[in-house]
Amino acid sequence: MVTIVDSGICNLGSISRALERAGGEVKVATTAGQVAEAAKLVLPGVGSFPAGMKALNERGLADAIRDHATAGKPILGVCLGMQLMFETGEEYGETAGLGLIPGRVRELQPGSNPLPHMGWNRIEFKQSDPLFEDLPEEAYFYFVHSFVCVPAEAGDVIGETEYGERFCSVVRRGNLWGIQAHPEKSQRCGAKVLENFLKQ
């Protein structure tokens, strides 16, 4: 059983279908009580960091997600969901995040490349991790984002991607994982990541 957190700011259809294809029995949580009952959570999101946190706070979901993490139960943050797991975001000024992973979220420095970073790109695995089980070394995923996570502790970075700069594209801290790419749009590699998370 896996529960998707519905913050009201993203379409859950594609991630829900992808989790079902990966073998998951999917529920959707719109209340703190439903989050509290979850065995494992997926936290998706699109849009800005402030809007994401505002939605979680207004629905009473932020503290429930923190309690879930403290209880040692697995969470997978996807795209904005990964970013919201950090302490602060710098989009439109500084906004407090969920504070589950030490670090901040800042704008990507793309060099001569356009923003947002949109399209297929490789994730280089920096550490072995159950999330990467049975993935090829040349694993490509689909990205759409303009901001990146900067973990305070280098050991939390388990995947990196190059786009004008090298940035953390997959993070792990204990029972918490985050992926900047969209696994639900990343074909076989994305499906394998979701399947691996469901085993946690």
Catalytic residue annotation? 79, 182, 184
Rg, the chain, Cα only: 15
Among 89, 81, 74, residue whose Cα is nearest residue 3: 74
Q: Which residues are CB-contacts of 92 (< 8 A; sequence separation ≥ 6)?
A: 48, 49, 50
Number of helices and strands in the chain (H, E): 6, 13
CB 103 within 8 A of CB 151: yes
Sign, CA dihedral 94-47-79-162, equals negative
The span from the CA of 171 to the CA of 32, in Å, is: 25
